[in-house]
Amino acid sequence: MKSFTHPSRVVALAFLALIAIGSALLMLPVSHAPGVQTPWLTALFTAVSAVCVTGLTVVDTGTHWTGFGQAVILVLFQFGGFGIMTAATLLGLMVNQSLRLRTQLLTQAETHTVALGDVRSVAKVVLGVTAFCELGLTAVLAVRLHTSYAMPWPEALWSGFFHAVSAFNNAGFGLHGDSLMRYASDAWILLPIMVAIVVGGLGFPVMQDIRARWHDPRHWSLHTKLTLVGTAALLLLGLVSMLVFEWSNPKTFGPMPWDDKLLGAAFASVSARTAGFNAIDIGAMTQESLGLHYFLMFIGGGSAGTAGGVKVGTVVILVLLVLAEVRGHSDSEAFGRRICLAAQRQAITVLVLSSAAVGLGTMLLLHVTDFPTDKVIFEVISAFGTVGLSTGITGSLPPSGQLTLIVLMYLGRVGTITLATSLALGERRMPYRYAEEHPIVG
C-alpha cells in the first residue's frame, strides 16, 4: 500500500485520472460537432495529448470539437502544464492556509522544489506568472486578431485565450488546421507567443529564483544559471541553423523577405523545444532541419516547467561531465560550483532510459506503418518530448501506431518526473562498499 502513496506514484496516477475524465468528456455528444463521430481512441488520444501538453492531434481541433469540447481540451492542457498537484496545493492555500505534510510532499515531487518550505512560495509563483502571461498574451492576441484580421470580438477573445494558454503551457494546440502558418509574417502574433513559450519552458524553480534574487544574478542557484545558459545556447543554435538550412528552400523560407525569414527561424527554434506550433510546413523542411528538430525536441525545456524532453539541465550536466573527462578533471564544475555525483548519475540515467524509449517507439512504429523512417523518428521524438510538431502522418496512423504515441506521450510527461523523483528520494548510503576495479571503456 505504501508504494502507491509514494509522491511520485501519486502524481503519475493523478495524470491517469485526469486523462480518463478528459476522455469521457470528449466522447459526449456535446463535445463534437454535429454529424461527426468521436471514437474512444480519438477521445483518448486527444485527452492524453492535452494532459501531457503535447499537441499531436488525429482530428482538427477547430472543426471537429465544439466550443465545449475545445474548453475541455483547454482545461486539460492547463492542468497538465500547470501541474495537477500544484493546482491542488493552490486550492488548499485558498481554502486553508495550513498544508498537510502529505500535500506538500506531493507538490514537491511534481515541482522539483528542494525543500518543503519552498512549496508554498513556488506554488504562488506558478499562479502569478501563469495568470500574468496568459492574460497578457490573450489581450495582445485578441486585439491583433480583431483589428488586423476583422475577427469579431467574442471569437478574437476566445481564439486569443485558447492560443495564449496553449503557448504558455507549451501545449501546441491551435484552432486553425494550419497551426500558425497563416501568421507566418505577423510579428505581433508570433513574438508574444514566443515569449510565453520560453517563459513557460524555463521551469518554475527558475522563475522563483529569479523573482527572489532578480537584483543579484551572482547568487542565483546553479540550476538557474545552467538552465538560462543552456536555453540561450539552444535558441541561438536553432535560429542560425534554421536560417542556413531553409534560406533557399522554395517550400518554406525561400519566397519570404529576409525579415520574415528571421522571424520564422526564431519561431521554429523556440517552438521546436516542446511548444508544438509551426509557422512553416514541417513536412516540407529539408532533411537537415528535420535532424535539427530531432535534437531540439529531444532536449526540450527547463525542469519542473511546462516543457517536455529530457530537459536542458540534464544535457548541460552531461556536457560538463564530458568536458571534465576530456580535460582530465576529477570534478564537473560550472560557475564556481562542483556538480554532485548524484546529479550526474541521474542525468545519465534519464538520458539512457529516454533514448531507449525513443528507440523502442521508433521500432514499433516502423513495424506497424509504411511511412519513411525520418518521419517516423520525428513523430516518436515529438510524442516523447511532448512537442506536438508533426510531418503530417499522425492522423493516418493505424490504431496500434496511435496507442504507441499515447504511451510515449504519457512517459514523456510523467515518466521522467517519476524517475527523477524516485532516484532522488530513493538515494541512500550503503553501510559497506565493494572493492573498486576499473573496467576498460572505449
pLDDT, residue 6, reads 58
User: 172 is written with which cell numbers?
Assistant: 501546441
Cell 508574444, residue? 192
Spatial separation of the C-alpha atoms in residues 347 and 345, rounded to whole Å = 5
Residues of the chain with pLDDT > 70, as a percent, come to 85
Q: Domain map of the chain by residue range?
A: 2-425
Phi, psi of 333 (to 5 degrees): -130, 150
Contact indicator for 107, 119 with CB cutoff of 8 Å: yes
- Digit-coded pLDDT (tens) for 115-131: 444 556 666 777 788 88
pTM of the model: 0.89
Beta-bridge partner residues of 65: 32
pLDDT, residue 439, reads 87
pLDDT, residue 125, reads 73
- Digit-coded pLDDT (tens) for 232-251: 999 999 999 999 999 999 99
Ranges of residues in the chain with a pLDDT under 70 are 1-9, 84-123, 415-430
Cell 465544439, residue? 66
pLDDT, residue 197, reads 94
